[in-house]
Structure 1
Amino acid sequence: MIRKFLMYSLMQKFLPVLSWLPEYKKENLSKDFFAGITIGIMLIPQGMAYALLAGLPPIYGLYAGMVTLTVYTILGTSRQLSIGPVAMDSLILANGLAGLAVAGTNEYIALAVLLAMMVGLLQLSMGFFRLGFLVNFISNPVISGFSSAAAIIIAFSQLKHLLGITVEGEKVHEIIINIFRNIEQTHFLTFGLGIFSLVLLFGSRYLSNKIPSGLLTIIVSILLVYFFHLDESGVKILMEVPSGLPPFEIPDINKSDMLTLLPLALTLAFVSFMESIASAKTIQMKHKDYEVVPNQELIALGASNLATSFFKGMPVAGSFTRSALNNDSGAKTGLSSFISALVLLIVLLFFTSGLYYLPYTVLAAIIIYAVAKLVNIRLAAKLWKSSRKDFIVFMATGLATLFIDIEAGITTGVLISLGLLIHGASYPHIAELGRIPTTRIFRNIERFQNLERYDSILIVRFDAQLFFANAHTLLEFVEAKIRQRPSIKHVILEASAINGLDATAVDMLIDINNDLKSRGIELYMVNVKGMVRDVLESNGLIHERSTQYYFLNTHDAVSYILGSEFKDFTEYVLQTNIKSE
């Protein structure tokens, strides 16, 4: 019995569908069904549009959505996350393959499918080796700066379809220059239909969130083209769209191609996981009946990308927009994703012929509409006011993405973030404290007025872990204060924020102690955490100094020095000679 229970628990860990399917509640069926239909309908225009953005035939977006939603239903830990083609990954794919093959050609498609397989294998490996924590090194300013810049690039890349002209260039400034050079070639009927589609998309959002604006726009545009023969007037349409299911094919594996695609695959593996886990965790906060497991999400996402590569799919990720709508539509379990996959299956089997008259300009409008909300101007303004360092990260990431390339943007953001993190750790905040009059409370003298200070006592608070990279700053701070106030005879180190010491920090404390002692200055430590005291004791610092120099709080230390709190040292030791936790 116990063995069966352990086996089932292990199966639940690797097949999260078993955590909700055996105990599925009938009252959730209608909610999951409605949410699944809603997302399936939404994914029809988005899947085709993002495939177009990636330089692939639009039908490949539907292939990817159908396959990956099915796989994720079984392996994913989020019950509302909707995975499939997304704008950012499509842009990365298009930019990465631009110099290797011509978009839409068989060679290009083969590379895209191989890339999906490589992304899947990388994510599966990351999941098995429990590397989900790596996403923590990509901060929100990096994500937002990258997303905002990518959204701008995506929008500008679709202007050629919206205007009906040929535009060369991959970077925003190149696209703008070439648009002005070819602006006289604008096909006004195409442009008008694109603008009409944008008005319909944005207008539907303001009227009601329940209106499937993308599908509505597609249906209206197809009817307009069909009845008014707009294709005969120069409006470009999809024309023949393959029907039926994609055949099972193993991607053409070429060692040279794989080595060439490896940097791009690594970028996509990280970015798609970053998007997915951020979306999953944001939505999971509204649900307390399950937990999102990052490493299992890597496995689910990797398996989804691997599976789609066998069915002519493209790299996928979790979509925050679709996931949020899935949640708002009432989705309770992963069954909603499976129903969305069934919607795409039905479209592929019976309705692809109806997409014949779908204009490219409408797909471009759908893409522009989808990415418009990714440009986070409000966050930039907020960061400018609250954190200039984060603002620098946001802007540097965005500018590098815009004017260099996507990989450079992410790399720049991560490197600057790590650089600022290292700088912050190397130069932590150190404060001199003073007493608030008539209290036992001590605060930073630079933030509070009228604090009491003592001529012979320096009270220092070190607000960080003390280790080799920042140990010198404490020594320099104390030395500077002693030079300013030669009357100092006692130095109190308030250590409540110090949660660890390395060998360099211990040696530095010993050096400070010896140096101060040689000048007739005593060093005291207060609010020392238990783990820090253990390190000090094991290195002989506590044994070397009398226990009278370790206090539970700053007030006790000052009182002891001034001789106003205790009758003699023995009474004090009885009250304070314990380890502070």
Structure 2
Amino acid sequence: MRLPRPTRATLERNLPILQWGKSYDRDTLTSDLVAAVIVTIMLIPQSLAYALLAGLPPEMGLYASILPLVAYAVFGTSRALAVGPVAVVSLMTAAAVGNLALQGTAEYAAAAITLAFISGLMLTLMGVFRLGFIANFLSHPVIAGFITASGVLIATSQLKHLLGVDAHGHNLPTLLGSILAHLPETNLITLVIGIMATGFLFWVRKGLKPLLLDAGLKPRMADILAKAGPVGAVAVTTLVTWLFGLQNHGVRIVGEVPMGLPPLSLPSFSGEIWSSLFVSALLISIIGFVESVSVAQTLAAKKRQRIIPDQELVGLGTANIAAAISGGYPVTGGFARSVVNFDAGAETPAAGAFTAVGIALAALLLTPLLFFLPKATLAATIIVAVLSLVDFSILKRTWHYSRVDFSAVAATILLTLGFGVEVGVSAGVLISIGLFLYKTSRPHVAEVGLVPGTQHFRNILRHDVQTDPSLVTLRIDESLYFANARYLEDYLYDRVVGDNDIRHVVLMCSAVNEIDMSALESLEEANRRLHEIGITLHLSEVKGPVMDRLQRSHFINDLTGRVFLSQYDAMVALTPNENAA
């Protein structure tokens, strides 16, 4: 039985797999399989490394890279976004659950699973209630500053593994202090492994592919082998550690990694744990969503595709719930991994599902080979990956463009480095909202005049325009709401006080999309006070929806002047004809 069209459309909107699945063919399958192979090679060492960063057993990184990818393939709308553990969310996970239980204990892992479940529930509910617009409240420069500072923190936190020492701390001063205090305990063999692995991985990123192309390999094969660089580092250092028994000389290794598919798990439903993790889960959800949507939109635009932010919330939410029930921890879309997925030719989210199959096979067959893997190699993988996130040029760009934005970015970076990732991301969110309120609380108001020979009005400070001493026209370049209503009221009084020639004031509302109740009360008060000093208040170019609301109030009836269709009509009516000709 065929479904009615509205029902089918609703299903396809809520299950994007039904849209792209209809046209899935052999060529698409081939492209997705090739992309999955490349991303799987990249994701295996990254998954292990990011679990290490989160303070979790390495197998949890693999578990978080299987079922969540399948869930996103069903519910996500981006055809190139690669979901899984990422550096920033791993660091935030460590900060969130670090205060609840001792690192390395079963309670610590259970808290991470619960964090993924809470975050997934939040994201899914936000998607169901169409709250994707929340991404618009986060300033991109502030987020860039937070990610840059997080990259520095992550790289610094991994130095202890390169040195083979114990060091702790969730902010830069304590991390550096702890590392310096333990510096005399450095294990030289570990340091050599770490430095060589780091140097090799940096070289692989840019140097290996050109070398392979010069050797005559085809571009696709050269690309696959270049992406396999981290796997090569893992294989070589593991083999060397096993052959020479370096674990007996102080080199710290991963140890036993359980072999098999992810176990079914349940989050804790303790009210105390939920209340402790709630704020952290919310911050992880917001940062993860913003990062994912930014990447997904960028990649979709390159192929003239589009994503649906509200459905992305559902996709990421179900991915995190899937991580929680399969022994994983919070996941989101990764920038570098998604770019690799896109460049490798992924055509649909099925590439993510095929990647999940690859990771599952690795968990089934390869984990015994990871026993002698040095933690220094995983630390090198993390350092090389996160340093690409560090971009201090954002400070220079914002300094030249906007000192307000520069102050916000600098504050976010300093707070993240100085007080930790949770304080940094909280500050980033508050600063983004504060920036919006600050900028809109002081709306740009321009006094305008008529451009000679036209019906256009421009700023009197920028253009040679016609004005009349009895008429003041103020163009408001912002919607009016509670935060800026008083500013406009004060601006009006400051302009008219002391100028006895003024008889009319016109508020040109061409850029005003909304007037809330607070702003309406300010306009009513301005209308009354201007009338008391013999000045008539008029409006011009009021948009339809704004006018509809004003007509539902008493303001239009009490207005001492008129509402003009255009500013030119207002000038013709309120000034001598020769000035408006």
Given the two structures, how large is their TM-score scaled by the length of structure 1?
0.89
* Residues 198-209 of structure 1: pairs in structure 2 closer than 5 A: 198-207=198-207
Residue 513 (structure 1) shift = 4.2
Over 3 Å counting, the alpha-carbon distance change for 1:142 and 1:363 in structure 2 is: same
The answer to whether the aligner puts 1:428 opposite 2:443 as a matched pair is yes
The answer to whether the aligner puts 1:35 opposite 2:35 as a matched pair is yes
Say whether the 8 Å CA contact 2:170–2:420 is kept in structure 1. no
Aligned partner of residue 338 in structure 2, secondary structure = helix
Aligned partners of 2:565, 2:324: CA distance in 1, in Å? Answer: 64
Q: What residue is the counterpart of 2:276 in the other structure? A: 260
Say whether the 8 Å CA contact 1:159–1:364 is kept in structure 2. yes
Aligned partners of 1:266, 1:58: CA distance in 2, in Å? Answer: 25
Paired letter, 1:308: A
Say whether the 8 Å CA contact 1:492–1:526 is kept in structure 2. yes
Q: What residue is the counterpart of 1:12 in the other structure? A: 12
Residue 74 (structure 1) shift = 1.8
Paired letter, 1:61: G
Unaligned runs of 5+ in 2: 210-222
Q: What residue is the counterpart of 2:571 in the other structure? A: 557
Q: What residue is the counterpart of 1:315 in the other structure? A: 330
Q: What residue is the counterpart of 1:217 in the other structure? A: 233
Over 3 Å counting, the alpha-carbon distance change for 1:406 and 1:170 in structure 2 is: closer
Over 3 Å counting, the alpha-carbon distance change for 1:302 and 1:564 in structure 2 is: same
Residue 314 (structure 1) shift = 1.7
Say whether the 8 Å CA contact 1:127–1:299 is kept in structure 2. yes
Aligned partners of 1:197, 1:214: CA distance in 2, in Å? Answer: 9
Aligned partners of 1:194, 1:249: CA distance in 2, in Å? Answer: 35
1:240 to 256, 259, 270: 256
Over 3 Å counting, the alpha-carbon distance change for 1:296 and 1:481 in structure 2 is: closer
The answer to whether the aligner puts 1:475 opposite 2:489 as a matched pair is yes
Q: What residue is the counterpart of 1:370 in the other structure? A: 385
Paired letter, 1:42: M
1:519-577, Cα deviation, whole Å (9 max, x unpaired): 4444443323233444445546555679876252347615751222789xxxxxxxxxx
Aligned partners of 1:545, 1:47: CA distance in 2, in Å? Answer: 65
Residue 235 (structure 1) shift = 2.0
Q: What residue is the counterpart of 1:184 in the other structure? A: 184
Aligned partners of 2:15, 2:530: CA distance in 1, in Å? Answer: 62
**Segment of structure 1 superposing worse, 513-522 or 14-23:** 513-522
Residue 273 (structure 1) shift = 2.5
Over 3 Å counting, the alpha-carbon distance change for 1:332 and 1:208 in structure 2 is: farther
Over 3 Å counting, the alpha-carbon distance change for 1:267 and 1:520 in structure 2 is: closer
Q: What residue is the counterpart of 1:493 in the other structure? A: 507
Aligned partners of 1:390, 1:518: CA distance in 2, in Å? Answer: 41
Aligned partners of 1:456, 1:233: CA distance in 2, in Å? Answer: 90
1:212-262, Cα deviation, whole Å (9 max, x unpaired): 222222123223334444334332222332222233243454443333333
Over 3 Å counting, the alpha-carbon distance change for 1:63 and 1:548 in structure 2 is: closer
**Segment of structure 1 superposing worse, 203-212 or 537-546:** 537-546
Residue identity (%): 38
Over 3 Å counting, the alpha-carbon distance change for 1:235 and 1:292 in structure 2 is: same
Aligned partner of residue 304 in structure 2, secondary structure = coil
1:259-317, Cα deviation, whole Å (9 max, x unpaired): 3333333333333223222222222222335x422333222222222222233222211
Aligned partners of 1:551, 1:67: CA distance in 2, in Å? Answer: 59
Say whether the 8 Å CA contact 1:523–1:549 is kept in structure 2. no
Q: What residue is the counterpart of 1:458 in the other structure? A: 472
1:392 to 397, 407, 430: 407
Residue 92 (structure 1) shift = 1.2
Q: What residue is the counterpart of 1:147 in the other structure? A: 147
Residue 206 (structure 1) shift = 1.5
Say whether the 8 Å CA contact 2:170–2:421 is kept in structure 1. no
Aligned partner of residue 110 in structure 2, secondary structure = helix
Aligned partner of residue 95 in structure 1, secondary structure = helix
Q: What residue is the counterpart of 1:334 in the other structure? A: 349
2:421 to 395, 399, 406: 406
**Segment of structure 1 superposing worse, 511-520 or 393-402:** 511-520
* Residues 61-140 of structure 1: pairs in structure 2 closer than 5 A: 61-140=61-140
Q: What residue is the counterpart of 1:577 in the other structure? A: none
Paired letter, 2:515: L
Paired letter, 1:343: G
Aligned partners of 1:118, 1:390: CA distance in 2, in Å? Answer: 32
Say whether the 8 Å CA contact 2:504–2:574 is kept in structure 1. no
Say whether the 8 Å CA contact 1:113–1:309 is kept in structure 2. yes
**Segment of structure 1 superposing worse, 329-338 or 558-567:** 558-567
Give the paired residue count.
565
Residue 143 (structure 1) shift = 1.7
Residue 159 (structure 1) shift = 0.7
Aligned partners of 1:489, 1:444: CA distance in 2, in Å? Answer: 20
* Residues 525-536 of structure 1: pairs in structure 2 closer than 5 A: 525-536=539-550
**Segment of structure 1 superposing worse, 42-51 or 535-544:** 535-544
1:322-362, Cα deviation, whole Å (9 max, x unpaired): 11110111100112111111211221222222222211101
Residue 456 (structure 1) shift = 3.2
**Segment of structure 1 superposing worse, 314-323 or 239-248:** 239-248
Aligned partners of 1:475, 1:58: CA distance in 2, in Å? Answer: 61
Residue 38 (structure 1) shift = 0.5
**Segment of structure 1 superposing worse, 384-393 or 27-36:** 384-393
Say whether the 8 Å CA contact 2:119–2:281 is kept in structure 1. yes
**Segment of structure 1 superposing worse, 119-128 or 387-396:** 119-128
The answer to whether the aligner puts 1:302 opposite 2:317 as a matched pair is yes
Aligned partners of 2:546, 2:323: CA distance in 1, in Å? Answer: 52
Paired letter, 1:310: I
Over 3 Å counting, the alpha-carbon distance change for 1:20 and 1:208 in structure 2 is: farther
Over 3 Å counting, the alpha-carbon distance change for 1:97 and 1:547 in structure 2 is: closer
Aligned partners of 1:91, 1:294: CA distance in 2, in Å? Answer: 25
Q: What residue is the counterpart of 2:55 in the other structure? A: 55
Say whether the 8 Å CA contact 1:526–1:557 is kept in structure 2. no
Aligned partner of residue 302 in structure 2, secondary structure = coil
**Segment of structure 1 superposing worse, 392-401 or 73-82:** 392-401
Say whether the 8 Å CA contact 2:510–2:541 is kept in structure 1. yes
Aligned partners of 1:424, 1:79: CA distance in 2, in Å? Answer: 36
**Segment of structure 1 superposing worse, 512-521 or 62-71:** 512-521
Q: What residue is the counterpart of 2:302 in the other structure? A: 286
Paired letter, 1:279: V
Aligned partners of 1:427, 1:76: CA distance in 2, in Å? Answer: 39
Q: Larger C-alpha radius of gyration, 1 or 2?
A: 1
RMSD of the TM alignment (CA)?
2.7
Paired letter, 1:37: V
Say whether the 8 Å CA contact 1:147–1:375 is kept in structure 2. yes
Paired letter, 2:274: M
Unaligned runs of 5+ in 1: 568-581
**Segment of structure 1 superposing worse, 394-403 or 221-230:** 221-230
Residue 455 (structure 1) shift = 3.2
Over 3 Å counting, the alpha-carbon distance change for 1:252 and 1:550 in structure 2 is: closer
**Segment of structure 1 superposing worse, 456-465 or 328-337:** 456-465
Aligned partners of 2:234, 2:54: CA distance in 1, in Å? Answer: 19
Over 3 Å counting, the alpha-carbon distance change for 1:422 and 1:186 in structure 2 is: same
The answer to whether the aligner puts 1:193 opposite 2:193 as a matched pair is yes
Aligned partner of residue 342 in structure 1, secondary structure = helix
Over 3 Å counting, the alpha-carbon distance change for 1:194 and 1:500 in structure 2 is: same
1:457-487, Cα deviation, whole Å (9 max, x unpaired): 3222122223444333333223322335333
Aligned partner of residue 472 in structure 2, secondary structure = strand
Aligned partner of residue 497 in structure 2, secondary structure = helix
